[in-house]
Structure 1
Amino acid sequence: MDYRQLFSDDEVRQEFLDRFDEIAAGAAALGGFESMDAGLTVDRAAEAVERMAEGAWGPDGSGLEAIVERFTRPVHLVQRSTFRLPPDGLPTSAHVTARLERARRPLERAIPSVGRVELRNHAMQWAGTGWMVGPRLAVTNRHVAEIFAREARTGEGTGFAFKQSWTGRTVRADLDWYQEYQQPEESRFRVTEVAWIEPDSRFDVALLRIAATGEDGGEPPAPIELDPSGARTGRWVAVIGYPARDSRADPDDQQRIFDGVYGCKRLAGGKVTAVRGKDIVHHDATTLGGNSGSAVIDLDSGKAVALHFRGLVGERNVAVHAAAVARIVHAHGR
């Protein structure tokens, strides 16, 4: 996490310090923060926040990192295509919450167009996240598509085929636009074709063609418009996808931040922390492994500015710039 960007908002910084006793008490009540009894006071927190803002602080075993993340970058539940705070009642930044509330309408337009990539005839139940970028066309990560598809020779040259399971059955993939917490509804669309798996290692991108109608006879959701010029450092974004339990992350921190709920559609607010040309975007929204393929949505426009593909624990999240996604869609999505 880039704490310099996180505490560049004076309102968030001051709110965190003003409410620190409340935040610390809520965290201690969950357990796992033994350091609360070892003198993690508001004065020590203020010193740490100052170092964070200067880029000179690193995790020190005090539990402060998880407290900061839970308060400033909470992960919202998605239910019935809208979002709400987790039900655990822990303190959350009013400033961050208000920023997401102001963007509720554009975010609710994007939420239905993000789905979970589900598998059949495979050891895994699901593989990651995908979202609509065109009529019957969804985008996900290369490393997600390669779980169930491979490059293959066709009558017209090189294409892509679904893999075979160890029993010899063909692996199939679907996109389910729901899979929401405590909601039974499904909206599953068969992936009829893997249209493209990008070979360039800079761009972890794949394109999936889906059926014209779902299992219930419905139509696919609307595409999310790409905004190739919208990624700018400091812009507020939301990552919409399906975080899964992640062996790389601290299990206690995961439990505190995600309330033990995994594999369901979530929305996490954050900021763009860096832009690397028209290839790569960094952001600080809270993610886990299943977020691979998530949409990174600009809060003001509701358009996608990036395709999330990787998180480096304790450092940053990395996404493919919308400009690169747009080029790939234009070249291979027709």
Structure 2
Amino acid sequence: MEYTQIFADAEVREEFLDRFEEIRDAVSTSGGLESVGALEGILDVDRAAGAVKEMAEGTWQGDDSGLESIVRRFGRPVYLVRRNTFATVADAPDNEAESLVVAAKVKAARRRLEGVIPSVGRIDLRNHNMTWVGTAWMVAEDLAVTNRHVAEKFAKRGRGGFRFRANPMAQVHAYVDWLHEHGRPRHESRFKVTEVVWIEPDSSFCDAALLRLAPTSESGESLPPPIELAKGKDGLAVGRWVGVIGYPDTGRHDDPEDRTRIFNNIFECKRLAPGQLISFDGNRWIHHDATTLGGNSGSVVVDLDTGRALGLHFQGLPGKRNYAVPAADVARLIRKRAS
């Protein structure tokens, strides 16, 4: 995580120190804090102030106090999606470890985010050893985008195109379900993947694949609308606030106590994670610092100011940065492969 980025915002920095004891105590009672120990005795406001100064300056070396996890929970929270909307710390006082400043930025974009949330779904599988593999979102009338490494779990190149994999007993089938919201386990909105239109080759920097979906769900619903893609470099600026919408899995490569603190042990359902664009890798990738886990592969990276998709999330380096394919590359892929 780029702590410099979080505390470059003076308002966020001041809020963290003003509310530090409240935030620390809320995290310490949230469970899964064995390695942090007695936070109240280890961390006080003066020590936190010194660490925050180092984080803002980029000189923070880290320690075993648990402060990094507190900062991550505070400055880069994850909100549960329910009924195509979300609750921030301002809506749900039991989340007092999260930033009110960040929550206000996300709430200001509520209308735009609520226009995007219904068009993001989870890829479920049948006749496969995995029940689901990642996230996908609508980019055209009957077309969804996900990652190459996600699509390759259930499809592969064959003669004249791509075909679904098979196990010894049956053909694999893939579906995109736009719900899987926490607290609504019996509600589904499942659309069959009728065609794997394209999977980018491994040699491509564009970790993307295009899926054709049935026009109606198993229960007769219509497809949600496509998410508008940002054009060119619109919105691509360091510090731009974004929301990542997808389905974080259990994050087996992340610290288990971090998973408990930040996700409250609730996984495999739709989440909204705010963050900022932190850097760019030439024209290949954009980097952001929203909190993600495995399962977020294929998530949409939404510009909070416009509601347009800035990118397609595909991987993260724990504690450092996340990567996304720019929207311009997704648009080029659609024009070239789905016309």
Q: Percent identity?
A: 54
Q: Which amino acid aligns with 1:3?
A: Y
**Which amino acid letter does the alignment assign opposite residue 241 of structure 1?**
G
1:249 corresponds to which residue?
Answer: 254
In 2: Cα distance, 1:73 partner to 1:275 partner: 20
Contact 1:73 1:269 in 2 (8 A): yes
C-alpha RMSD of matched pairs (Å)? 1.3
- For 2:294, the equivalent position in structure 1 comes to 289
CA distance, structure 2, for counterparts of residue 198 and residue 104 of structure 1: 33
1:98 to 101, 104, 107: 104
After TM superposition, give the deviation of residue 60 of structure 1 in Å.
1.3
Q: Paired residue for 2:304, among 287, 299, 306?
A: 299
Which residue in the other structure is 1:258 paired with? Answer: 263
1:175 aligns with 2:176: yes
Question: Does structure 2 retain, via aligned residues, the 8 Å contact 1:35–1:63?
Answer: no
Note the alpha carbon deviations across 1:63-99, whole angstroms, 9 max, x for none.
0111001111110000000011376433221110100
Aligned 8 A contact 2:42 2:65 in 1: no
Matches within 5 A, 1:162-201: 162-165=164-167, 167-183=168-184, 184-199=186-201, 200-201=203-204
User: What SS class does the counterpart of residue 95 from structure 2 fall into?
Assistant: coil
SS at match of 1:30: coil
Contact 1:279 1:323 in 2 (8 A): no
Checking the alignment, whether the CA contact within 8 Å between 1:117 and 1:173 is kept in structure 2 is: yes
Q: Indicate the larger mover: 141-150 or 269-278.
A: 269-278
2:134 aligns to what?
128
Instruction: Report 1:262-281 matches (<5 A).
Output: 262-281=267-286
Task: Tell whether the 8 Å contact from 1:82 to 1:108 is kept in structure 2 after alignment.
Answer: yes
For 1:179-209, what per-residue CA distance to the aligned partner results, in whole angstroms no more than 9, with x for missing partners? 1011132111000000000113311100000
CA distance 1:214–1:174, change in 2 (3 Å):
same
Alignment of 1:203-242 (within 5 A): 203-227=206-230, 228-229=232-233, 230-242=235-247
Deviation at 1:35, TM superposition (A): 4.9
Q: Distance in 1 between matches of 2:137 and 2:181?
A: 15
- Contact in 1 for aligned 2:199/2:209 (Cα 8 Å): yes
Question: AA paired with 1:194?
Answer: V
Do 1:278 and 1:324's aligned partners in 2 also have CA atoms closer than 8 Å?
Answer: no
Is 2:120 aligned against 1:114?
A: yes
- Give the C-alpha shift of residue 59 in structure 1: 3.0
C-alpha distance 117-58 of structure 1, shift in aligned 2 (>3 A): farther
Matched residue SS, 2:159: strand
- State the alpha-carbon separation in 2 of the partners of residues 162 and 254 from structure 1: 33
Looking at structure 1, the residues matched to 111 and 95 of structure 2 have their Cα atoms a distance apart, in angstroms, of: 24
Contact 1:234–1:273 (CA<8 Å) still a contact in 2?
yes
TM-score of the two chains, using structure 2 as the length reference: 0.94
Q: 1:246 to 1:193 in 2, by over 3 A?
A: same
* Alignment deviations for residues 197-249 of structure 1 (CA, whole Å, 9 cap, x no partner): 01133111000000111111111100001103222211000000000001110
Cα deviation, residue 37, structure 1:
4.5
* Residue in 2 that maps onto 1:42: 45
**Alpha-carbon distance between aligned partners in 2 of 1:7 and 1:140, rounded to the nearest angstrom:** 32
Return 5+ residue gaps in structure 2 as ranges: none
Would you say the 8 A contact 1:106–1:299 is kept in 2?
yes
Q: 1:13 corresponds to which residue?
A: 13
Whole-angstrom distance in 2 between the partners of 1:45 and 1:201: 43
Runs (4+) off by over 4 Å: none
State how far apart, in whole Å, the 1-side matches of 2:133 and 2:309 are: 21
CA distance in 1, matches of 2:97, 2:23: 6
> Separation in 1 of the partners of 2:216 and 2:30?
45
Gap runs ≥5 in structure 1: none
The 8 Å contact of residues 177 and 190 in structure 2, kept in 1 or not, is answered as yes
